[in-house]
Structure formats: C-alpha cells, structure tokens
Amino acid sequence: MELENGKMWLDGKMLSNEEAKVPFLNPALHYGLAVFEGIRCYDSPKGPAVFRLKEHLQRFLDSIHIFGVMNMPYDLETLRTATHETVRVNNLRECYIRPLMYLARGSMGLNIDLMEPSVGIAAWPWGTYLGEEGLRKGVRLLVSSFTRLHPNVFMTKAKVSGNYVNSVLAKTIASRAGFDETVMLDPEGYVAECSGENIFMVRDNVIYTPPKASILEGITRASLLTIAGDLGYEVVEERISRDQLYIADEVFVCGTAAEVVPVREIDFRQIGIGGRGPVAEALQSAFFDTVHGKGKHSEEWLDIVDL
C-alpha cells in the first residue's frame, strides 16, 4: 500500500512509516484517546488545493478542546504549515490527509491530565470511498440497529477515535449484509447521520437535513448548504424520520472521504427513481467544480500548496 512508502509529520519531524512506530504501552491505544480529522486535497490549475483546510484544523482543535485535553502543543498555523509540508514531501497532487492527536505518553489509567499528546499528519492517495459506481448510480443503505451516540454519552461534535467504535459496529454489519453504508438514528429515533457521512433528502424540490444537535458538523455538509443556496434551492434543517427518507424524491450523503453520493435504496425500498436524482447531480457537479478550482467559492475554500 502506498501509505507505507509515504512520509508523515510527527511532532515536527518528517518520518517514514517504519520510523513512526508507537509503543505498545501508550494510553491512546488502550482507551481510544485520540482525535482525528479527515481532509482532502484536490488537483487544481494552481497546484494541489486543500479543501477548507482552516475549517478542518479548527474543528480538530475544537474536538481536542471538547475532549478536554489542555496541553495541546500546536496552534492552527503550525498545523497548517505541517499539512502543506506533508503533501509537498510526498509529491501528492490529490490525497486524503489525516491529522491525529493521540495521548501518547504518561501514566496508564483514566485521567487525561496525566498524559501528554503527540500529533501526527499523514497523507495518501484515497480513491472514492463508496465506489466509483456509487457516485453515478447511487448506493444502498441499511438503517442501523445501533443508535448514534447520545450527546451525554459522547459529544458528537468531536472526532474522538473511541467514538468511532460506534460507527465501526454499524458499518461492519451493513457491509456484511451487502449494503454500502448505514444510516444511524439518534437516541430518540430520528435520522442522525451515516457511519461516516451526513445525510440529506429532497422532497418537492426542497432540501432537508437533520439539525446539528446530534451529528458531526460536517464541513462538506456546510459547503453543500452554501452551494444549494447559490443554486437557488430552499434548504431546511429539521428532524427527519426514517419513513420520511423512504418516501423522499432523493436522498444523498456527503463527507470528506465519500464526497457527494446519491442513494438509490434504503432498507430494500427504492428511493425516488432508484438512481442519481437531479438535485444530487447538480450539487455533486457544483461540488466537484469547486474542489477542482472552478467554482464560485474555490478561491475562498481552497488552500493551495506551493510545490
């Protein structure tokens, strides 16, 4: 895997995968005490362009703040420079970027004030997350029997590694049952998000998406809300039930890894025309133009890496 040949930034040094080993006795590994981000860099006429880098790094710092880690040693500008350096050193024009803060040293036990963070940033080429065909024809979803995290069990605004066990449990069952992704309901039974994407539906030309309270505040979600406004769509953030999804004209999901993906079926019910609908197609096309430097917001949202 190309990942293994790449170099990663680790606490200020560029290391090979071989050099960037972590010891078995570290609290992050034992308790899931880490925070991550997922960012994409796209090729553009001006060079490799990182999509909404500052917003992702701000969410990274916010996740660490929510988690309550008080000794994070790096600020946004240091992380931004390190991200650029990682893309440059690996000679990548298009890649997925993974910053990770992990509580690496200090005592075992459950008090994070006795632990010290390390921060790493890796980058690797990562193709379509839910498949090339899914982007064009739509994917199949299963509503999960697992519940999305209650905000007082763990805060959904923070991309804490341990939180993702919930997503992994849900996604694995869906994959084993032959589905592409899984929709998770919140503790009250309303649609929250997918294991790794936010979700939208369309009915009578109005776009609906669940409110922020019980979901990760997706950066792709926020970008699509802006783009939908530009394209003249009415957008409503409100609670959605699973049967509202079943009878929607269109459903689509979005995230950094997944990008913008139409949904053709949920729980064995065909959604709309059973393929990519016109709203998903319009948003997908505007999104891909934007990330490749050809959209209304490209200038504002793309952070170009000098080679």
Which residue in the list 7, 157, 159, 171 is annotated as catalytic? 159
Q: Return the number of the residue (113 or 230) whose C-beta is nearest ligand PPE.
A: 230
Give the C-alpha separation, 220 to 52, whole Å.
9
Q: Is 221 in the site for ligand PPE (CB under 6 A)?
A: yes
Contact 37, 159 (CB under 8 A): yes
Q: Is 209 in the site for ligand PPE (CB under 6 A)?
A: no
Q: Is 210 in the site for ligand PPE (CB under 6 A)?
A: no
**How many residues belong to the site for ligand PPE (CB under 6 A)?**
15
Contact 125, 95 (CB under 8 A): yes
Among 117, 196, 210, 262, binds ligand PPE (CB under 6 A): 196
Give the C-alpha separation, 20 to 16, whole Å.
6
Residue type, 267: D
**Does residue 212 have an active-site annotation?**
no
Q: Is 197 in the site for ligand PPE (CB under 6 A)?
A: yes
Q: Is 219 in the site for ligand PPE (CB under 6 A)?
A: yes
Give the C-alpha separation, 195 to 263, whole Å.
15
Among 29, 169, 173, 257, binds ligand PPE (CB under 6 A): 257
Q: Is 166 in the site for ligand PPE (CB under 6 A)?
A: no
Among 256, 284, 290, 298, binds ligand PPE (CB under 6 A): 256
Contact 254, 4 (CB under 8 A): no
Long-range contacts of 131-135 (CB under 8 A, 24+ apart): 131/180, 134/180, 134/261, 134/262, 135/259, 135/260, 135/261, 135/262, 135/284
Q: Return the number of the residue (216 or 240) whose C-beta is nearest ligand PPE.
A: 216
Q: Tell me how far, at minimum, the Cβ of 5 lies from ligand PPE, in Å.
A: 20
Q: Tell me how far, at minimum, the Cβ of 218 lies from ligand PPE, in Å.
A: 3
Q: Which helix (H) or strand (E) holds 101?
A: strand 95-106
Residues forming the site for ligand PPE (CB under 6 A):
38, 167, 193, 196-198, 216, 218-221, 255-258
Would you name the residues annotated as active-site residues? Answer: 159
